[in-house]
Structure 1
Amino acid sequence: MSAVKQESWEDAVRWFREQPGNDEIVRDAYYDDPLNAAAERYWKSNEWLAVRDIIGTGPGDALDAGAGRGIASYALAKDGFTVTALEPDPSMLVGAGAIRQLSQETDLVIHVEENLSERLPFADCSFDVIFARAVLHHIADLPAAMREFHRVLRPGGAFVAAREHVITDPSDLPAFFDNHALHHRYGGENAHPLSFYQTAIRDSGLLLERTIGSLESPINYGPQSTNEIYHRIAAQLMPIAAFRKPISGVFSLPGIGALIRRLASQFDRRPGRHASFIARKLA
C-alpha cells in the first residue's frame, strides 16, 4: 500500500485539480469551478434525476448529511425543499464555507450546520428527507450516526445513502486505497462490505427498503450514461469488438437492460464500487 501524506481534504482536492489531464475527472466529480455551475449541472444530471424519482420534490424539510461543497444541498433547494446542510469541514473550497457562498450567489436558502453525524444538533423528527451522498464510509461510528439519523427523521420519512464505497472482503481494502486518486494525499477514505452498511441501517430502527447495486442506477454510475454502462458490460462479455454493438442493442430492449445491470452488479467485485441504500422510518 502506498505511503499516505497527511494533508487536509481541501489540500488534496486542490492538488488534484492542478494536475495536468484531470479536468474530466474533476468535472465528473463536481469539483470544478465556478461552483454554482457545477451545482446546476448536478441538479440536471442523470444521478439527481434518479434521486428525485425516490424522494420526490418539496415542500418538506431535508437534511443533506456530509454536504461537502453543497451540490446536493443546491439540488434539494432547487426542488423546493427547506434545506439544512450538515458539513463539519469549514473549507471555502470543499466544505461549509463553499456552501454558504453557493447559497449567497444563487439566492437559494441553505442553512449550514458545522457538526458531525454522530451528534446531530436537531430535535427529534425534524426532517422529511435525509440524503447522504458518499458519506457513510467516512463516518467513524456509523451505528451511532444511523441512530441519530433515525431520531431526527420524521415517521414515514426517507433516508437515502448514495454512492457508498463497497468491498467484498476487508482484504480488498489495500487495493481500494492504492487505486483511489486522493487517499494517498489525505488518508481519509474508507470502504466496507455491503453487510456492514445494511446492518447499521437496520439496527438504527430504519426499514431498509432497497440496496441499489453498482450498475443498477445512475445514482451509482452517473454521470456515465446507461448506454455507456451497456457498452462496458458488452465489452466484458464479448472480446470481438464487431459483436459488441448488437449486444448493447439487445440490452436496450424493455426489461432486458435492467435485468442485465442488476445481474452485472451482483458479479461486480471491484474494490470501492458504489452501492446506494433506500430506507424509511416507520410511521
Structure 2
Amino acid sequence: MTWHETIEYIQSNPQFAEIVANTYILPELGVNVERFRQSAEFQETLRLIRHYCPIPNPYLLDIGAGNGIASIAFALEGFRVVALEPDPSPMVGSGAIKTLVTMYELSNVQIVEAFGEELPFDNQTFDIVYGRQVMHHAHHLPKFVAEVARVLRPKGLLFTTRDHVIKDEKDKQKFLKKHPLHGFYGGENAFRLTEYREAFAKASMQIVEDLSPSQSVINYDPWNKKRLTDLIGNKIGRIFANQQWLVDIGWQALMFRQEHLSGKLYSFIARKE
C-alpha cells in the first residue's frame, strides 16, 4: 500500500480508531488541527520554541508537514510558515494543507512540495526548522541535517520531535515488526542515538536539549495521569483508580516502559553554530 492507501484503510477500520485519533489523521482535517493545538505536546513545543527563539513572528519551516496540523497551528500563533510536504495527497499531504489554509483563511502559510534532503531554499532563510516524526524517515540522515543547517539563519533552531531511536539492528527489526502500520506501507525507520548526535555535530549544530522518552510530554503525549487513572479504573475497578499511590506506581512503570521500548521516541533542539 501507499501511505495514502494505508490511511484510507485504517480510517475505515474500527480496530485502528485509537491510532487514527492519537496520530491526528482523522478524516476531519479541522478536528485534527484543533486537537493538536490543544494537546500537551504542542503547548510544550510552543513553550520551548518561544524560550529558545524569543523573536516576534519567526519564520518557520515545517519539514515533512504531512496533513498540516503543525503548520496551521504555528500559523495561528503568528508564525510565518513554509509547509514542506512532497506527498500531494488531499488526506495526508499537501492537498490537505491547501484545504486547511483555505478553511482558516490564512495568508502566512506557503506550501512547497519537496524532500528534506534537497531543500529548495536559499542559505540562511529560516529562524526555525521544525519536524514532527520526520527525521527518522531520512534516506541519508547526515545530508538531511546538513540541508537543515544550510537554510537556517545563524543561531537558528532545529526542533525535531518524536523521532524513533533504536539500540542496534536487532532492536530496529523488533521495532519494525511491532509497528502497527509498517506492515502495510513499509515506510518506517529508526536510527541509533549516536547517529542522530553525529549528524548534528557534522552539520555544526549544537544540541541544546536532548529529550528522552520520559523526559518530556512531547514524547509521551497523549499519555497523562488522568488517562492512566481511567485505564486503572476500567481494568481493575474505580476504587483502585482513586488510590494515588497506585497511580504513581503505574506512572513510573509506564515511563520505565517508554524508556525501554524498541524505537522509543526522542526529541532534539539544536542550534546552528
Superposition TM-score tier, normalisation by shorter sequence: 0.7 to 0.9
Aligned residue number for residue 97 of structure 1: 95
CA distance in structure 1 between the aligned counterparts of 2:31 and 2:227, rounded to whole angstroms = 24
- Name 2:214's counterpart in structure 1: 215
Q: How does 1:198-277 map to 2 (within 5 A)?
A: 198-225=197-224, 228=227, 245-246=244-245, 248-249=247-248, 264=256, 268-277=259-268
State the Cα distance separating 1:230 from its structure 2 match.
Answer: 9.4
Residues 48 and 219 in structure 1, CA contact (< 8 A), matched pair in contact too: yes
Q: Give TM-score, length-normalised by structure 2.
A: 0.87
Distance 2:189 2:243 in 1: 35
Alignment correspondent of 1:4:
none
Counterpart residue number, 1:74: 72
Equivalent residues in 2 for 1:44-59, closer than 5 Å:
44-56=38-50, 58-59=56-57
Aligned-residue Cα RMSD (Å) equals 2.5
* Compared CA separation, residues 275 and 244, structure 1 to 2 (3 A): farther
Aligned length: 259
In the TM superposition, residue 182 of structure 1 has moved relative to its aligned partner by: 1.1
State the distance in 2 between where 1:276 and 1:226 align: 21
Deviation, 1:180, is 0.9
Q: Any conservation in 1 of the 2:225–2:247 contact (CA below 8 Å)?
A: no
Aligned AA (1:280): R
Question: Which consecutive residues of structure 2, in runs of 5 or more, have no partner in the other structure?
Answer: 232-239
Q: Distance in 2 between matches of 1:270 and 1:79?
A: 34
Q: What residue number does 1:116 align with? A: 115
Q: Which residue of 1 aligns with 2:235?
A: none
SS of the aligned residue for 2:75 comes to helix
Per-residue displacement from partner, 1:138-176 (whole Å, max 9, x unpaired)? 110111111110011111221111000111221112211
1:175 aligns with 2:174: yes
**1:126 CA displacement:** 0.7
Task: Show the counterpart of 1:165.
Answer: 164
Identify which of 28, 31, 37 aligns with 1:34. 28
The alpha-carbon distance between structure 1 residues 155 and 244, as it changes in their structure 2 partners (threshold 3 A), is farther
Cα displacement (A) at 1:242: 8.7
Structure 2 Cα separation of the partners of residues 131 and 155 of structure 1: 16
SS, match of residue 201 in structure 2: helix
Match of 1:12 among 6, 10, 20: 6
* TM norm structure 1: 0.84
Change (3 A) 1:226 1:246: closer
Q: What is the CA–CA distance in structure 2 between the aligned matches of 1:94 and 1:220, rounded to whole Å?
A: 21
C-alpha deviation, 1:226, in angstroms: 5.0
- Name the SS for the 1:279 alignment partner: strand
Please give the per-residue CA displacement for 1:196-246, whole angstroms capped at 9, x wherever unaligned.
1111112111111121011111110112225557999xxxxxxxx799731
Q: What SS does structure 2 have at the residue aligned with 1:119?
A: coil
What amino acid maps onto 2:22 in structure 1?
Answer: D
CA distance in 1, matches of 2:87, 2:211: 28
* 1:183, distance to aligned residue in structure 2 (A): 0.7
Percent of paired sites with the same residue: 36
Q: 2:104 aligns with which of 88, 103, 106?
A: 106
Classify 1:194/1:97 alpha carbon distance in 2 versus 1 (closer, same or farther; 3 Å).
same
Q: In the aligned structure 1, how far is the partner of 2:230 from the partner of 2:170? A: 30
What is the identity, as a one-letter code, of the residue corresponding to 2:268?
Answer: F
CA distance in 2, matches of 1:82, 1:230: 39
